[in-house]
Structure formats: C-alpha cells, structure tokens
Amino acid sequence: MIFIVVPFILFLDQLTKFIVTKELTVGQSIPFLEGILHFTLIHNRGAAFGILKGQVPFFILTSGIAVALIAINLKKNKRALYSLSLSLILAGALGNLIDRLFLGYVVDFIDFRIWPVFNIADSAITVGAILLGYSILKSKN
C-alpha cells in the first residue's frame, strides 16, 4: 500500500503546487466555484492555520522525526486500514516537508472561504488521521 499511496499523493501534491505557483501570484485568488471554492496562492511559513510562523527548522525536524516514526510503524503493521491511514499521513508530511526544505514555506492554495487555505498534503494528513483514529477504535472492539 505504501508504494502506491505515498508516491501518488506526493506526485499529486507537488504537481498541483507547481501549477498553482506558475499560474498565480502570492495572494491572488481565482474562483473555481464562485463563493464556494477558490484557488488562492498562499506561502505558509507556519504550521496549521499559520501558527508558529518562521519556525522552519523546528518544522523540518519534527516532520523528519514523524516521517521516520511512521515508516518504522508501517514496517511493523500489516492491517490494511491502519497502513492506508499511515501512508496518507506519511505522504502529506513528506509533501509539506519537501516545500519547507526547498522553499522555506509550504504552498497552500485550496480555499473554501470558510476555512484556512490548505493543500493536497494537508488533506492527506487529515484524511489519514481520521482513518487512523477509526482504525484504532475498530481494532479495540
């Protein structure tokens, strides 16, 4: 699972960030579905919702540790849903880590206007975390 999910999410994340960066300037927004979904280019120098701005070395370190721990855990566990959830989290963490390492910030662009702007990697982390919680709860029953 890891060899399919991680490369696919990473490719999709980096491709969409590349396209948006080439088509928009920072702060520029174009509607996809007027009033619902816009593409807005943001350079996020913090964590979720822009907190802890300017702490790039901290984020690189914590992301690197998280990636290593997830990879170790994936090797040990063979449950499908659990592996899928960790693969999504790993892909998202790697996608944002790549941005921080090479750009010094994370490229965000998905804008629902009622939530902070985010990206594919953030979505993978969120979906993975929800699935991970479900997987853990399911395994305890």
Task: Give percent of the chain with pLDDT exceeding 70.
Answer: 95
Structural domain includes residue 141: no
- 122 counts as catalytic: yes
Selected catalytic residue, list 13, 99, 108, 111: 108
- SS3 call for 41: strand
Average pLDDT, the chain: 92
Structural domain includes residue 7: yes
Is residue 37 a contact partner of residue 112, using CB atoms and an 8 Å limit? yes
- 108 counts as catalytic: yes
Site of tokens 């960790």 = 86
Q: How confident is the model at residue 53 (pLDDT cuts 50, 70, 90)?
A: confident
Strands lying side by side in the sheet with 106-111 = 29-33, 37-44, 106-111
Q: How far apart are CA 6 and CA 34, in angstroms?
A: 32
Question: φ, ψ for residue 124 (rounded to 5)?
Answer: -65, -40
Whether 1 has a pLDDT exceeding 80, the answer reads no
Structural domain includes residue 56: yes
Q: How confident is the model at residue 129 (pLDDT cuts 50, 70, 90)?
A: very high
What is the pTM (predicted TM-score) of this model? Answer: 0.91
In tens, the pLDDT along 33-50 reads 999 999 999 999 877 666
Which region among 18-22, 63-67, 103-107, 120-124 has the lowest average model confidence (pLDDT)?
Answer: 63-67
Q: What does R_g of the chain's alpha carbons equal in angstroms?
A: 16
Selected catalytic residue, list 13, 99, 111, 122: 122
What is the structure's pLDDT at 76? 85
Q: For 51-76, give one letter per residue: b (16+ CB within 10 A) or e.
A: eeeeebeebeeebeebeeebeeebee
What's the total number of domains in the chain? 1
DSSP 8-state assignment for residue 17: H
Higher-confidence residue: 58 or 131?
A: 131
Instruction: Find the domain containing 96 and state its range.
Output: 2-136
In tens, the pLDDT along 72-86 reads 988 888 889 999 999
Structure tokens at 92: 């998202």
